[in-house]
Chain A
Amino acid sequence: MAKHVVAPVGELPPGSRKLVEIGARRIVVFNTGGEFFALSDRCPHEGGSLFHGKVMGLVESSEPGEYRYTRAGEMVKCPWHGWEFDLRTGRSQCDPRLRVRSYATGVVHGCDLAKDVPAAETFPVRVEDDYVVVEA
């Protein structure tokens, strides 16, 4: 498990997302309200790209007619068949046995970035900036 720098924090503002390739893996990084989440881009159902998915909240209900809508921005809905996945865990809402691979994320200050943390893309690292890293 290595840390990969995927973007300067300033380039991934809240509500945005970024698709990165780390080795052969395609990973989508979401910023929800300042928190970063990273999931495999590939929906485990038919392979839709979660990068294109709708980010939304979670609707739950304990009885017909009740719509409890919480956790805004913490679910992603596949752009194809609408399967919902929890950004925090990758867990599928319709089939909890199923997960999309999720990766730990973090924010590292430029001056703390050791030279051996590879960047997913080539961009200059400036010591005064913060960077989003994904452990993959």
Chain B
Amino acid sequence: MHAIDCDVHPTIPGMSALLPYLDPFWRESVVEREISSLESISYPVNAPITARPDWKNASGRAAVTADEIGATVFGRWGADAAILNCLYGVQLVFNEDMANAFARALNDYIVHEFLERDARLRASIVLPVQNVEMAVAELERCAADKRFVQVLLLAMGESPLGRRMYWPIYEAAQRHGLPIGIHAGSNYRNPVTSLGWPTYYAEDYAAQSLGFQSQVASLVCEGVFVKYPQLKVVLLESGVSWLPGFMWRLSKFWRGVRMETPWIDRSPFDIVRDHVRLTVQPYDGPDDLAAIEKSIDHFQSDDMLLFASDFPHWQFDGDETMPRGIPERLHRKIRVDNPLATYSRLAALAQPAGS
């Protein structure tokens, strides 16, 4: 095997594309109420980060079809498999029933328009997290299809993801061998920073990594990994390099206020090394290559990083899918071994053909 690309984004052209997957009532609602798009301001369609210019098709969009994705991710870069994390904004919808209907339609669309068209594609289950009961039902429905290898949540939600109301999702995910993917993005129930709404889009984007920090703290401190010891969490498009500094901080505080969360019986950094994985694009590192290698040493683990191109988001130029400065000795682990160890449903890929 050459590589598993753990973060690829299919683009949904608009709500009209989902109409065939909705039942008549919701189809009628979408049309009558002019719900033309669920695009989120997390990735404005024309913002440079959203789609690298040379990957856009004639309509100005990228990654709209399985062919567009496959041509680059498989054809050009030689990945053996790719995981689709669809960021269409069903999590933003306020009406729970509507969110549920849209999430179902979206997951069905992903199956028919992508998974059915290229056997190398896998996907994450988009959850209507507005209602945990509905989220679990959708997880159960999709989990029967083994091409779904993960569930997908956003870095910024209504409440921190460690809170107990979300635990039924983790119970179901662990039972089905599905990691929890947390991707950059927000449902905009809370301001983009704890200091309110910033001026510039680049500030919004930078603040995504702060949301990941909060989620890691919450998942660890609430004891999610104590309750669900097999659970893995994958941080997608998180920026990566913030993690050691944040874990030193959290681990230091834990030693002082351990009594507050007595179920945490070892250093939070050790817990994170066992349960949390991060996709490597973008790796927010310095220009100096030796400094990047030092920053990798701060993780004190070779198991945490997973290969991802973040296609079609514009994280790199040319074909530099692996961030510069990551030591050669880790490439094989990052491209193949770590993804296989994280996604139990990908294990079959490692079997020789016919076995």
Which A positions have Cβ atoms within 8 angstroms of B?
45, 59-68, 81-84, 93-95
Contact = CB atoms under 8 A, between A and B. Distances in A.
Contacts of B257: 82
B164 interface: yes
Nearest to A68: B262
Closest 5 CB pairs of A and B: A64-B223, A82-B256, A61-B262, A94-B255, A61-B263
A63 B256 contact: no
Contact of B226 (A59, A63, A81): A63
A64 B223 CA distance: 6
Contact of B258 (A64, A66, A94): A94
Contact of A84 (B223, B258, B261): B258
A64 B255 contact: no
Contacts of B254: 94
A64 B226 contact: yes
Contacts of B258: 82, 84, 93-94
B171 interface: no
B350 interface: no
Given A64-B164, A64-B223, A64-B227, A83 B263 contact: no
Interface residues of B, number: 17
B274 interface: no
A65 B255 CA distance: 19
B266 to A, nearest CB: 9
12 contacts: A59-B262, A61-B262, A61-B265, A63-B226, A63-B227, A64-B263, A68-B262, A82-B258, A84-B259, A94-B254, A94-B258, A95-B267
Interface string B140-182: 0000000000000000000000001000000000000000000
A60 B262 contact: yes
Contact of A59 (B164, B224, B259, B267): B259
A81 B254 CA distance: 10
A30 B215 CA distance: 41
Contacts of A61: 262-263, 265
Contacts of B262: 59-61, 66-68
B96 interface: no
A60 to B, nearest CB: 6
A62 B227 CA distance: 9
A95 B224 CA distance: 21
A65 to B, nearest CB: 8
Contact of A95 (B164, B222, B255, B263): B255
A45 B255 CA distance: 10
A45 B254 CA distance: 14
A65 B262 CA distance: 9
Nearest to B256: A82
A91 to B, nearest CB: 14
B159 to A, nearest CB: 16
Nearest to A75: B259
